[in-house]
């Protein structure tokens, strides 16, 4: 039921919904902030309304709607994102028909013509960059068609592409900065604002980080000098509509009502036209437009850009990348094809290649001729970094001196304990009998006994002085995530799947591997790229809990277990129970 209405950005209405029994929490759901939803009235008296989740907690959820909802009780369901699919299909249909510069970019992306490069020139960098970051910026600036920046975990990929954008703007170029997720776009925008760039964010305000909403197109248009007149025109139009339907004793002149309504409709049309001119004016003033890579033409129109940058390009399906690519004079893709691929739910689509990103395909086709790799990372202790560096990056990663040996007990208010004085711990549950189970009424797997140990390690970290907000728990299965959330004793503790932590970091990370069975079946844990993401989220402390007897049959995990032993990180669950 709705407990509150309040005005939202861009003329929207934000409603707060709770259970009728307000003492009860909401059931577990997938309605994350930014998710598209449909609200259906209980009594079916009015049509369902589409909206976007703008905030949520355990007992309530806020939804931003374009119109005021009629009724009190509603069913809220996750809505399918058909708009994105249709935009991708439209881009694929448009690509073969492209002419001019778009046709040349198409040929490069399809391998029909090699990318061209000018001679590299020196740049006057606005931020402090390491040699590999500087080389990547200079290389991307020299590209006439396409360049790829390969950014392994913690190497400052976003810092590098923001500097690239700043350099392009200094040359008078207009830039489109994209990413497949709203979080990644917001990350770019935040850094551009810090760099004092004129950037505007296109997207539903509910999907934009709250502290960045003043930089959205909605907010900037509302502040435009033309909008005072627009609001006056819309108010007058509403007054005319009300007047045309008002009962009066005197019979109106023939055709008077129709004339008043025509006038109202014309006023509304003129107001919307003026508003669209304000939109275009705001976009014209901006040097940089930031938006998700699956945008539509409804706002941006037929604009092209001197430079299009797609961050986290490995997480975007190829059709999604063609949408911005067709607007580019030059295209730069940034990402890491050894981390998570695009999320594709259809097994058939995966089989036919949809999970292969455009960036990965182009790296396979063109190799180093279009790619520069960042090699110095600023996140992890060297022992947290070394395994991934060896397995995925040819041992090329270097830990910057500021992080190479940092530990939890170096932080203020964190005590020296066994957990805080070494960077990596693996706790082997083999032989404990803590076997996995299938979640009741579900298909996902969980391991409550392992979950109890994971939460015990979190408590020990907190008792040592580390804040819950500095700790993350990662589990590969949604059922384990649900169990951990239900049994955790802090709302500040972040618990999520591997996908939820791509691009993120915490001071300490605890990984629950979940799988424990007699047959050595590990399911999608066998996707080494997922584990690469999980293993590289921690800054100062990584704890992995798993069953070596189940995991060790896989070559990747056998190597990982051997690495843990080589650095003295291996412990058994029996040592834990005796502590």
Distance, CA of 255 to CA of 236 (rounded, Å): 20
Q: Let me know the angle formed at the C-alpha of 533 by 152 and 325, rounded to the nearest 5 degrees.
A: 60
* Lowest-pLDDT range of 85-94, 146-155, 233-242, 387-396: 233-242
Among residues 322, 319, 318, the alpha carbon closest in space to that of 103 is found at: 322
pTM of the complete model: 0.84
Beta strands in 188-327 (DSSP E): 199-201, 288-292, 305-310
At 540 the three-state DSSP class reads strand
pLDDT surpassing 80 at residue 372? yes
Report strand pairing: 146-150 vs 371-373. Answer: parallel
Q: Count of alpha carbons within 13 Å of 135, Cβ hemisphere only? A: 12
pLDDT surpassing 60 at residue 553? yes
Among residues 435, 145, 192, 475, the alpha carbon closest in space to that of 311 is found at: 192
Q: What is the mean pLDDT of the chain?
A: 89
pLDDT in tens, 302-328: 899 999 999 999 999 999 999 999 999
Q: Let me know the angle formed at the C-alpha of 190 by 196 and 341, rounded to the nearest 5 degrees.
A: 135
pLDDT surpassing 70 at residue 257? no
Percent of the chain scored above 70 by pLDDT?
A: 93
- What letter would DSSP give residue 424? E
Predicted pLDDT of residue 345:
82
- Say if CB 474 and CB 537 are below 8 A apart: yes
Proportion of the chain in helix, strand, coil states, percent, rounded to 5? 40, 20, 40
Beta strands in 42-189 (DSSP E): 49-56, 61-65, 74-78, 146-150, 175-179
Choice between 7 and 125, residue whose per-residue pLDDT is larger:
125
pLDDT in tens, 430-481: 999 999 999 887 789 999 999 999 999 999 999 999 999 999 999 999 999 9
Report strand pairing: 74-78 vs 146-150. Answer: unpaired
pLDDT surpassing 70 at residue 100? yes
Among residues 185, 379, 206, 216, the alpha carbon closest in space to that of 282 is found at: 216
Choice between 70 and 100, residue whose per-residue pLDDT is larger:
100
pLDDT class of 568 with cuts at 50, 70, 90: very high
pLDDT in tens, 47-72: 788 888 877 887 888 888 776 676 66
């Amino acid at each position: 039921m709705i407990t509150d209405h309040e005005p939202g950005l861009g003329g929207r209405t934000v409603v707060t919904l709770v259970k009728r029994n307000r003492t009860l929490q909401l059931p577990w759901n997938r309605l994350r902030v930014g998710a598209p939803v449909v609200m259906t009235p209980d009594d079916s008296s009015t049509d369902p309304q589409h909206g976007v989740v703008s905030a949520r907690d355990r007992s309530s959820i806020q939804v931003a709607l374009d119109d005021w909802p009629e009724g009190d009780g509603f069913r809220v369901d996750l809505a399918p994102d058909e708009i994105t699919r249709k935009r991708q299909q439209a881009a694929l249909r448009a690509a073969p028909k492209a002419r001019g510069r778009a046709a040349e970019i198409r040929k490069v992306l399809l391998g029909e013509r090699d990318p061209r490069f000018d001679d590299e020139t020196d740049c006057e960098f606005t931020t402090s960059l390491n040699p590999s970051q500087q080389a990547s910026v200079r290389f991307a600036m020299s590209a006439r068609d396409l360049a790829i920046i390969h950014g392994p975990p913690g190497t400052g990929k976003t810092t590098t592409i923001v500097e690239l954008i700043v350099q392009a703007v200094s040359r008078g170029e207009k830039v489109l900065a994209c990413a497949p997720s709203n979080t990644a776009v917001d990350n770019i925008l935040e850094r551009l604002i810090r760099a004092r760039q004129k950037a505007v964010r296109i997207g539903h305000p509910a999907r934009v980080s709250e502290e960045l909403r003043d930089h959205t197109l909605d907010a900037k248009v509302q502040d435009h000098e033309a909008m005072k007149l627009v609001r006056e025109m819309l108010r007058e139009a509403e007054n005319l509509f009300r007047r045309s339907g008002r009962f009066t004793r005197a019979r109106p002149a023939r055709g008077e009502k129709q004339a008043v309504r025509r006038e109202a409709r014309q006023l509304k049309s003129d107001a919307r036209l003026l508003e669209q001119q304000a939109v275009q004016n705001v976009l014209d003033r901006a040097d940089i437009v930031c938006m998700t890579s699956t945008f539509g033409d409804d706002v941006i129109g037929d604009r092209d850009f001197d430079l299009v940058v797609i961050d986290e390009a490995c997480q975007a399906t190829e059709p999604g990348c063609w949408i911005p690519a067709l607007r580019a004079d030059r295209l730069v893709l940034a990402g890491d094809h050894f981390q998570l691929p695009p999320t594709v739910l259809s097994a058939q689509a995966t089989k036919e290649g949809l999970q292969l990103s455009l960036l990965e395909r182009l790296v396979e086709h063109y190799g180093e001729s279009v790619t520069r790799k960042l090699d110095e990372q600023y996140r992890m202790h060297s022992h947290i970094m070394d395994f991934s560096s060896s397995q995925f990056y040819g041992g090329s990663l270097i830990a910057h001196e500021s992080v190479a040996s940092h530990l939890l007990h170096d932080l203020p208010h964190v005590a020296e304990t066994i957990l805080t004085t070494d960077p990596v711990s693996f706790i082997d549950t083999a032989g404990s009998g803590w076997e996995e189970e299938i979640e009741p009424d579900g298909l996902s797997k969980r391991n409550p006994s392992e979950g109890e140990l994971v939460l015990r390690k979190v408590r020990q970290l907190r008792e040592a002085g580390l804040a819950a907000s500095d700790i993350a728990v990662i589990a590969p299965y949604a059922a384990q995530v649900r169990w951990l959330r239900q049994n955790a004793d802090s709302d500040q503790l972040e618990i999520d799947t591997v996908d939820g932590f791509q691009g993120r970091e915490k001071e300490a990370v605890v990984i629950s591997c979940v799988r424990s069975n007699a047959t050595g079946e590990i399911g999608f844990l066998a996707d080494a790229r997922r584990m690469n993401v999980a293993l590289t989220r921690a800054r100062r402390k990584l704890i992995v809990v798993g069953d070596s007897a189940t995991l060790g049959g896989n070559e990747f995990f056998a190597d990982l277990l051997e690495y843990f032993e080589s650095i003295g990180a291996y412990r058994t669950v029996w040592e834990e129970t005796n502590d």
